[in-house]
Amino acid sequence: MAPPEARHRPIGAAVLAAIALLGLINLPQPFAWDQAMFTLGARMMQHGAVLYRDYWDPKQPGLFWFFQLGGALFGFSEVGIHALEVLVMVAFAGFLMFGLRDAFATRRGPAFAALLVVGMYFAACGDWHLTQIEGLVGLPLFAVAWSTRAAALAPHRAGRLALIAGLATGITVLLKLLFLPIAIAIAITGLAARRPAGGAADGARGFPYWRALSMALVGFAIPMLGAIAYFSAHHALALAWWTSVTYPASVLAQAHGIRIKILERSLTWFCTQFFPLIVLAVPGAWLWWRARREALALQMVAWLAMSAVVIVIQRWSYWPYQFLLFLVPLGILAAAALESLAAAFATLAPGARRIERRAVGALTLGLLFAAPLATLAGKSVRLARTGFALTPARIRAYQVRASLGNGYGQILDDVAFLREASSLTGPIWVLGNPLYYWLSGREQAIPRNGASFIESFSLEEWQRVTRDLDRARPGYIFIGRDYGDIVRAEGERSAPFFELLSRSYRPLPGRRSGAWYQRVDSATP
């Protein structure tokens, strides 16, 4: 008989193959607002632009570097960026199965966890949710959980594992500074719940807290010093600090109340798509802790609790994809429940044949996971109807079908005139959705985009934007329908911009989703 490890290898290989297939289904997914903005900035960085100086957005640099890597490897396109995402998430699935192999009673548990985390991610997420920070940060945060738990179980390896935890925490911060408390909560909980792995002798040795802390700080410093070196070399360190720390604090100070309607819609989407994980996670956490005193149970609960705090703090957003912070801990805890349920299910109906039990189990899981399976089926059907998006034309046809609110179709119609021979050439500037840049093929005229927190612009920022626009002389300026009201409501702060618009531009008629303005003199650079 083959050894247990050999018998379970096909399970892991089959799970990775299934997840890779789910990822491939998502390769041609269209971009939404954020993905277009990140790709535009990353493409400029690939050609020598400096983040925050030549392309400004308040996000931390980690995601821009991720998009830059995806573009450099596979091309600056929807397929290229998603290709890197698929590779990273399949690697994450493999890491989950490796890192959880001693936390579950059977090898089915880690396989369940990989499917419920990465498989659900690819099944349930659409253009708005893919390649967002909250989905990608699951990998480094899980690395923090795994390494601190492993260090607590094996104090003699604490230094090396703490180095990994610090490195993963640094990567997390470069993705989003606000996620630092989540990493700290996971690490502290894992160490606080530690138990000796080898009996009293190991326990008497104690845990090298100071050595672990020093190694964690070394690991944390590696990515942070790399980022500091990048911005220092380009004389943009002060600007990076202002963008990452000072500016978000000022935006938070201006945010009043809670965006209840957006919060309700976001929670509805998340609870609908990930309902089975939410239901299974509660018994999973209880079973794991009560039966095995598994530290991961407490780490996952701490992850969930601190993520909730981080989401609530961001009063200016509450977008659906932000709730993906819950996905990894919910998926792992749900896998713990499924493992126990599978063992209990095998003892039911002793006279039933194995095929009968499997059929009943498959039907039960199909009903439980109906919502994400329906979303996955919708993607698959659209993909099949467009010839599996195997040519550029079919990719575009799929993206028009799949884009949120027919965004691609509408914007492609709006920017069609920019491809006419009579249109002015050169960059444009958009107060609104960055997809107007992406789908028009035009570059952004000035470093400051007209999408991020435009309602929080100060008079100084509007004056700077106006000076930059007057200097760059873009042939066209677009103001989205919703953004026109927002900008005009700023009164005196946005007055310099409207003075430039009235002096140097004329409106173009017949645009349904906003207003296009063409420069009066055609002498654009």
Give the pairing type, strands 476-480 and 505-508: unpaired
- Distance in angstroms (rounded) separating the CA atoms of residues 335 and 193: 20
- Distance in angstroms (rounded) separating the CA atoms of residues 221 and 373: 42
Q: Are 133 and 175 in contact (CB under 8 A)?
A: yes
Which strand (E) or helix (H) includes residue 417? none
CB atoms within 10 A of CB 511: 16
pLDDT at 2: 44
| Residue among 282, 276, 269 nearest 368 (CA) | 276
- Distance in angstroms (rounded) separating the CA atoms of residues 162 and 173: 16
| Residue among 30, 34, 268, 18 nearest 122 (CA) | 18
Q: What are the 10-residue block averages of pLDDT along the chain, 525 residues in total?
A: 53 94 97 95 96 94 97 98 98 97 90 96 96 97 96 91 97 97 96 57 63 95 97 96 89 77 94 96 89 86 97 90 98 93 73 76 87 95 94 95 90 93 94 95 93 84 94 95 85 92 91 88 54
**Torsion angle defined by CA atoms of residues 465, 468, 469 and 475, in that order, rounded to the nearest 10 degrees:** -140
- Distance in angstroms (rounded) separating the CA atoms of residues 466 and 487: 13
pLDDT at 351: 67
- Distance in angstroms (rounded) separating the CA atoms of residues 384 and 398: 9
pLDDT at 483: 87
Looking at the chain, how many residues does it have?
Answer: 525
**Torsion angle defined by CA atoms of residues 52, 57, 60 and 61, in that order, rounded to the nearest 10 degrees:** -50
pLDDT at 9: 67
- For 201-216, how does the pLDDT look when each residue is reduced to its tens digit (9 = 90+)? 344 357 888 899 999 9
pLDDT at 200: 39
Longest dimension (CA), the chain: 86
- Distance in angstroms (rounded) separating the CA atoms of residues 172 and 165: 10
- Distance in angstroms (rounded) separating the CA atoms of residues 48 and 66: 16
- CA dihedral sign, ordered 16, 22, 23, 25: positive
- Distance in angstroms (rounded) separating the CA atoms of residues 298 and 214: 24
pLDDT at 178: 95
What DSSP string runs through 90-131? HHHHHHHHHHTTTTSSSTHHHHHHHIIIIIHHHHH--TTTTT
- Distance in angstroms (rounded) separating the CA atoms of residues 430 and 35: 16
pLDDT at 8: 53
